[in-house]
Structure 1
């Protein structure tokens, strides 16, 4: 193969990849992920959510507040978002969305932080909340 052929193939590959990425929400489903603070009054929930490609940063969610974001699954079906939640001296980390959960989540994944743990519903507004995670004590710095 000539240099020009390889160069043209590479340019075509980049254009196709960019087009698929731009159309991804038209090709695959869009999901909304909710993380809601249902902790006791005056409790502040801090969270940090990210994927391999997108760091959503650290956010503070007041009681009854809803931190949410939309995502489009990749056409290869390998999307993963995880969250790390902090409340007083407690923390928990968990996967907030995985592509293989597409049937589990419907069009939304709903996570609710309560004083006894983290609950999940596959619908928004939530129905049939199920406890999925317990809070862990933060490790003491030495």
Structure 2
């Protein structure tokens, strides 16, 4: 029994070195894609979780800001982003572990002039509009 436990721990440690995740967690990837008109103002964004602040970023035409992470063993990972473009803004969750049932996933948020669109690599394979911009006050 001890040998089996040591083997499991060894495999788990090796897996975490290879993928950054353990055998008990899943790797996810979030993409923010700027699809605003050419020549339009840059898109400013700030993304974070409870434990990881990804900082402020400025995206030009067709740029993609993305990151990957391992879900917590207790599935409570949540990332949000706040976006500013011209006189508009919006903030929302871009990843919430409660949404998933998948093991490895990519999530795509496409920022357009008429709103925010979403698709992923498992269930929602075509873009669907999820949010409208809000005007700054």
TM-score of the alignment, normalized to the shorter chain, above 0.5 = yes
CA shift digits 1:88-117 (9 cap, x unpaired): 010010100000122379511100000110
2:35 is the counterpart of 1:38 = yes
Q: Kindly tell me: are residues 104 and 25 of structure 1, through their superposed partners in 2, closer, same or farther at Cα, counting changes over 3 Å?
A: closer
SS at match of 2:39: coil
Q: Which residue of the partner structure matches residue 108 of structure 1?
A: 106
Backbone CA RMSD of aligned residues: 2.4
Distance in structure 1 (CA, Å) of the matches to 2:105 and 2:28: 5
From 48, 64, 70, the equivalent of 2:68 is: 70
Indicate conservation of the 8 Å contact 2:27/2:103, yes or no: no
Indicate conservation of the 8 Å contact 1:37/1:66, yes or no: yes
| Equivalent residues in 2 for 1:1-142, closer than 5 Å | 23=16, 25-26=21-22, 27-43=24-40, 44-103=42-101, 107-123=105-121, 127-139=125-137
Task: Give structure 1 stretches of 5+ with no counterpart.
Answer: 1-18
Which protein is bigger by CA-based radius of gyration? Answer: 1
Query: Deviation at 1:127?
Result: 3.1
Distance in structure 2 (CA, Å) of the matches to 1:86 and 1:123: 26
Distance in structure 1 (CA, Å) of the matches to 2:69 and 2:62: 23
Q: Kindly tell me: are residues 101 and 85 of structure 1, through their superposed partners in 2, closer, same or farther at Cα, counting changes over 3 Å?
A: same
Query: Deviation at 1:123?
Result: 2.2
TM-score with structure 2 setting the length = 0.79
Indicate conservation of the 8 Å contact 2:26/2:104, yes or no: no
Distance in structure 1 (CA, Å) of the matches to 2:114 and 2:104: 26
Give 1 or 2: higher helix fraction.
1
Indicate conservation of the 8 Å contact 2:49/2:78, yes or no: yes
How many residues are paired up? 119
